[in-house]
Structure 1
């Protein structure tokens, strides 16, 4: 069924994100962000394919076509402080295992009692509500979803909002925009969709600007899924920036240690990428696997987060 679409309209959301950082940027700045991510993406792919050889900056810069100085500056600015070498170290299997070990005690506390605002100093503060089961079963019937693509540190971001807050966040590389849009349409095929850059811009500016992550100005999101999926996504929201966990750990803390496969399926269906941090869930033993929007992007997000944690620690 083709989703209903109406003409663009501006949505005024009561209490919506007041951070307009993205809106204040020029079109040139936003295009620079997309070009930066393309360079980062190609660098990550090369480093991932050749990590056993431990390629140096000179070799990487030759492959990318930038001077070593320019590439180093771009990388450290984009990540908040990590060099290309530090980045690849941050997303290797050995480091992932180490991070899982270091995160274990933090996650025990997070899953059991939640985390206070002060202990989530570097995290994206979120308030959420779940849509009713009946509305979910109706596949979005009666919902109006406003959407638009915006530049982000991780390529083009498809931002989707309802009157209750952010409902969807997807990513697309150049030429993949329509595929990403159809993927998200398919989750709520009976909803009414309106293209509206103005209604979604403040959300994009808030989500990807760590300076806007303040407890006093939380990001409002709407969870649209089955009861089990929503329970899993709520567990994901407890994973702090810089921490990682596994599917089996989530299943255990949900009271069903044998449900790790079901948890993995629910994590894979998370419609609000990055904000609901499914990228912080790793496979058994720390393998970086299972990301709907591509493993290169998952590595990019994890490395970006590690850089910002290190830079603000």
Structure 2
């Protein structure tokens, strides 16, 4: 069997048997590899670990049940999870909301938003009680707010400044204390979350290529997918996707404009030299 055939067999087995929550050893047996070798190969091909892939399948199935108005308990057990606590953990970790909030279309989720000014123009900051869920540079405030509503269609949006927004303004003013923390409340696929986590490890004033980011996320074979995940980053600047450039040395694309990307990098370089 080729590596592709082995991985395909494991993927088919997971899709068919995820409700039994199979162990790593059971899935590795489908590929005729040791658990250790299978874990490494699966990560290279799928971009996430077998455990994360199984979690994503479980979450997707539970979401379908909740959309059909199944109870949280019914969705948990029908997905093969041991209880509602495990389903709650999956949702909070991967979907940035509880199962109950998802079941009601995010209607129970309260999001406060405010506009602020930075050295790079106006920005929109949006936060839940758990942390900052969106930061975008806003050329047009109405369009930025419409984008926020589209991402969280059933959440209750309120124009209000949370403490995290005050911290953010101090961050741009360079008066942010190293002891302070800005918490993030992100929703994304396991692969996206892993790529965004790798972006957070790029030091200020330094650059990385797309292939470096993919490798740092242990996804060497997924450079194109890494680029897509970088482009979907919902939190500008704090998750520093602007520090990623092409392998040729060109700055490349940026969701909020190539000129702003160059300005961000120049500003950071000046700060680190100073």
TM bucket (normalised to shorter chain) is 0.5 to 0.7
Task: Give the whole-Å Cα distance in 1 for the aligned partners of 2:131 and 2:162.
Answer: 14
The residue that corresponds to 1:146 in the other structure is 112
**Alignment partner of 1:133 is 2:94:** yes
Task: Give the whole-Å Cα distance in 1 for the aligned partners of 2:198 and 2:132.
Answer: 18
- Are residues 160 and 205 of structure 1, via their aligned partners in 2, closer, same or farther at CA, if it must alter by over 3 Å? same
The residue that corresponds to 1:171 in the other structure is 137
Q: TM-score, normalised by structure 1?
A: 0.53
Max Rg structure: 2
Task: Say which SS state the counterpart of residue 147 (structure 1) adopts.
Answer: strand
- Are residues 207 and 131 of structure 1, via their aligned partners in 2, closer, same or farther at CA, if it must alter by over 3 Å? farther
Task: Give the whole-Å Cα distance in 2 for the aligned partners of 1:201 and 1:219.
Answer: 9
Deviation at 1:238, TM superposition (A): 0.4
Matching residue within 197, 220, 224 for 2:161: 197
**Alignment partner of 1:159 is 2:125:** yes
Instruction: Report matched runs for 1:282-293 at 5 Å.
Output: 282-293=245-256
Structure 1: which 5+ residue stretches go unaligned?
1-129
Task: Give the whole-Å Cα distance in 2 for the aligned partners of 1:164 and 1:226.
Answer: 18
The residue that corresponds to 1:66 in the other structure is none
Higher relative contact order (Cα pairs below 8 Å, separated by 6+ residues)? 1
Deviation at 1:181, TM superposition (A): 1.8
Task: Say which SS state the counterpart of residue 285 (structure 1) adopts.
Answer: coil
- Are residues 243 and 143 of structure 1, via their aligned partners in 2, closer, same or farther at CA, if it must alter by over 3 Å? same
Q: Give deviations 1:233-289, integer Å, cap 9, x for gaps.
A: 111110110111011111122222121111111111111100010100111212112
**Alignment partner of 1:229 is 2:195:** no
Deviation at 1:141, TM superposition (A): 4.5
Q: Give deviations 1:211-246, integer Å, cap 9, x for gaps.
A: 3141x2122222221111111111111011011101
Task: Say which SS state the counterpart of residue 134 (structure 2) adopts.
Answer: strand
User: 8 Å contact 2:95–2:188 — kept in the other structure?
Assistant: no
User: 8 Å contact 2:167–2:176 — kept in the other structure?
Assistant: no
How many residue pairs align between the two structures?
179
The residue that corresponds to 2:171 in the other structure is 207
User: 8 Å contact 1:250–1:263 — kept in the other structure?
Assistant: yes
Q: TM-score, normalised by structure 2?
A: 0.60
Task: Give the whole-Å Cα distance in 1 for the aligned partners of 2:123 and 2:108.
Answer: 25
